[in-house]
A and B are shown apart, each in its own frame.
Chain A
């Protein structure tokens, strides 16, 4: 049976009827699969949550142990059966390369396979296994950076820009806006790999998740909460990381001689960086850029492509031109925001 007969867009999100299963629902539901821990995909209050162990740990860190009535950690590739015994829906998770714990969801029903990419990227990321190409009939891809203007430079090059700035402005406090989950840790690792071994200072909102990463065996080096620093003036010349919303707000006023940095795929568009009063934009993204989206569609080579959240128009156009039957899935609620870019 064609997946469009058994997958639909309902108000909480993408729904697989024969399994009674929602994928990344926005509202509390009985059974949810969560692709990764970003707040616009992982919500609390569901009955049962199926996700990778790391994603469950992230959700519990963010929302507390009681974030769902029941949680089921699935290993990558492990097949879980839903639906009726005589008419089963087979579900498995596969690495998406987006952040710690992120996965794609493969759903097989009545001989057809559908893969939901969740958010994904194709670059190296020491915090998670690389994206796995999973053959399928229908591939549902995200489209966050689906315009040909988006081509992300290598992270090493962006970290080099930051290091150069620290060298030119040795007396300024470099405040980096980075999303608490994924981006923050990737920037820290990028700095460590580039040979930066001084302590890195953190806004309170980032600490729990960094601790979790370290518990999972990911080395982040010495991290110090900004709130533990008595003399804030001593942060001149240091690197501080905070959530993007804290960049130009009251919290940052106590920091000395700020140089505002932001790490996001959105930073490629100059006006967007300047609008946020960012002085040093770093194009560091946890999503695919345009060439990688096209490359992925070619490699997965599905019969059909469905495009969700982001700039669907361009990707639908291009994917159709490449010979794939393509449509846009209008899912609402996923953020088109700087935060998770």
Chain B
């Protein structure tokens, strides 16, 4: 527990991913099983340590600390676990040995609602403030130390000198405290056997297209499809079990029971998750409503039903198909989709592109379909290779939308950018007033960043904590993929992936675009 609390503390304050990885690897080297495995599970969020509720903690502290002083402290600190960690009365000269992480997990998972408060109080009293903070965060399952499930896998890969695809493949087949996985990473054990488990297979990714890489155009060599604007997923059906994974190997099954209900027949399918009304695909914004919900209610599932556009098939009835060419896999995929008999399981149609001109006009047309964000070009002889193999698959995104906006606020970045104002909020005109329409952190070169930083410092007119307000004088050309109506923003719009395309040092702020122009860029279908 001592080592784990130190690790959490350090991770909390460290912003660079590399430094975080170094800290975790160092911890793995120093810490015995099963503690380190439980720690990984806690950080990756793959274990719900719901030992106790916030309220349990609050009750306990109020039995020990004056409620007025608690309130004043909580107001000041702003976070419950930290407030309690600091306020818990220090036991003088306790010789109680600190429990291991493994012991804690075991004791708490056995405890009942009645025995938890006493157990928790006992442990809190034997710890110092940092350890108490760690324990409370662990128990109420909210570590928030800035390490995603994805980066934990990368760190494990680095630790064992394996590929991240290997870890992703195994991840859902192994369980905390991951003794077998860690043993294998250290070369002390065989690769864990996951043949009985439902697991994720690493996905194949594409490169952005530079047109001359596929010219002269020979349509007999390529399969052209729409690139749908949902999220890439992997659907796994194995006997009675089903699972849906994001492309980063997170299990998102719990959010989409309505989709899983629709499928049967053992297979691993690569596809795009979307909201679908019958076979009609809804825009990304609709899917967003579903993505945020861990357990969607019935009404949401009826108004925003989840569907799948199938791109590819990795295995069928336990037989791997990844070595077969795309053209052959396509036939298996068509058969599988047919068998589903569900309007919400669709195949991704292939598009006719007899000539280069036809291809180009398809790309232009793609910009008008709002469920689509461009084209995919795949070699028909491509095997399904995890990662991003060269020359096999290309994505050709539709052209971005562009507006001229006025810079309003700037904030310092993180890590290498911590001394630069690099996060910008910009706005559009509504009458004489500017309303913020989005934030961008990217799109500029290092050289441009230096100039922007300099401009912000010279033109700042106010400060709110880490944020500087600037003179409303600088126009930036903002590129973005789409704009959606939003009730969360005063301007009523939310941009998808905004970035700074160009800095218009020359353009007077008065000539920047109006909010009306931005609203006009919302797809008509969404304005209803």
Are B78 and A271 neighbours in the complex by a CB distance under 8 Å? yes
Question: Which of A217-225, A278-286, A301-309 is near enough to bind chain B?
Answer: A278-286
Are A149 and B414 neighbours in the complex by a CB distance under 8 Å? no
Are A270 and B76 neighbours in the complex by a CB distance under 8 Å? no
Of B129, B419, B465, which one neighbours A253 at CB under 8 angstroms? B419
- Does any Cβ of B come within 8 Å of A205's Cβ? no
Shortest beta-carbon distance, B19 to chain A, in Å? Answer: 8
A: interface residue count bin:
20 to 34
Once bound together, how far apart are the Cα atoms of A318 and B70, in whole Å?
A: 12
Are A273 and B13 neighbours in the complex by a CB distance under 8 Å? yes
Are B65 and A250 neighbours in the complex by a CB distance under 8 Å? no
- Does any Cβ of B come within 8 Å of A298's Cβ? no
Once bound together, how far apart are the Cα atoms of A169 and B22, in whole Å?
A: 10
Chain B minimum-CB-distance residue to A172: B19
Are A149 and B412 neighbours in the complex by a CB distance under 8 Å? no
Of A252, A270, A280, A318, which one neighbours B69 at CB under 8 angstroms? A318
Are A148 and B79 neighbours in the complex by a CB distance under 8 Å? no
Known: A148-B65, A149-B77. A279 touches B466 (CB 8 A): no
Once bound together, how far apart are the Cα atoms of A20 and B66, in whole Å?
A: 42
A147 surroundings in chain B (CB, below 8 A): 69, 72-73, 76
Are B77 and A314 neighbours in the complex by a CB distance under 8 Å? no
Are B79 and A311 neighbours in the complex by a CB distance under 8 Å? no
- Does any Cβ of B come within 8 Å of A228's Cβ? no
Are B414 and A277 neighbours in the complex by a CB distance under 8 Å? yes
- Does any Cβ of B come within 8 Å of A151's Cβ? yes
Known: A275-B465, A275-B466. A270 touches B419 (CB 8 A): no
Are A149 and B73 neighbours in the complex by a CB distance under 8 Å? yes
- Does any Cβ of B come within 8 Å of A274's Cβ? yes
Interface of B is mostly: helix
Residues of B in contact (CB 8 Å), total 29
- Does any Cβ of A come within 8 Å of B86's Cβ? yes
Q: Mark A312-323 against chain B: 1 for CB-CB distance below 8 A, else 0.
A: 011001100100
Known: A270-B12, A273-B13, A279-B15. A252 touches B419 (CB 8 A): yes
A313 surroundings in chain B (CB, below 8 A): 72
Once bound together, how far apart are the Cα atoms of A285 and B441, in whole Å?
A: 36
- Does any Cβ of A come within 8 Å of B26's Cβ? yes
Known: A149-B87, A318-B69. A281 touches B76 (CB 8 A): no
Once bound together, how far apart are the Cα atoms of A147 and B466, in whole Å?
A: 25
Are A279 and B77 neighbours in the complex by a CB distance under 8 Å? no
Known: A148-B65, A253-B419, A311-B76. A280 touches B13 (CB 8 A): yes
Shortest beta-carbon distance, B140 to chain A, in Å? Answer: 16
Which residues of A in the span 140-192 have a Cβ within 8 Å of any Cβ on B? 147-151, 168-169
Once bound together, how far apart are the Cα atoms of A151 and B128, in whole Å?
A: 12
Are A278 and B73 neighbours in the complex by a CB distance under 8 Å? no
- Does any Cβ of B come within 8 Å of A248's Cβ? yes
- Does any Cβ of B come within 8 Å of A337's Cβ? no
- Does any Cβ of B come within 8 Å of A60's Cβ? no
- Does any Cβ of B come within 8 Å of A73's Cβ? no
- Does any Cβ of A come within 8 Å of B206's Cβ? no
Are B69 and A317 neighbours in the complex by a CB distance under 8 Å? yes
- Does any Cβ of A come within 8 Å of B82's Cβ? yes
- Does any Cβ of B come within 8 Å of A81's Cβ? no
Once bound together, how far apart are the Cα atoms of A168 and B79, in whole Å?
A: 30
- Does any Cβ of A come within 8 Å of B83's Cβ? yes
Of A270, A277, A318, which one neighbours B15 at CB under 8 angstroms? A277
Chain B minimum-CB-distance residue to A249: B419
Can you identify 30 A-B contacts, CB atoms within 8 angstroms? Answer: A147-B76, A148-B65, A148-B73, A148-B87, A149-B82, A149-B83, A149-B86, A248-B418, A248-B419, A249-B419, A252-B419, A260-B418, A269-B76, A270-B13, A270-B79, A271-B78, A271-B82, A274-B13, A275-B465, A277-B412, A278-B13, A279-B15, A279-B19, A281-B13, A311-B72, A313-B72, A314-B68, A314-B69, A317-B68, A317-B69
Counting from the closest, the 3 A-B pairs by CB-CB distance are A149-B86, A248-B418, A149-B73
- 11 more contacts with CB within 8 A, not counting A260-B418, A313-B72, A314-B68, are A147-B72, A147-B73, A147-B76, A149-B86, A151-B90, A151-B129, A248-B418, A269-B76, A271-B79, A275-B466, A317-B68
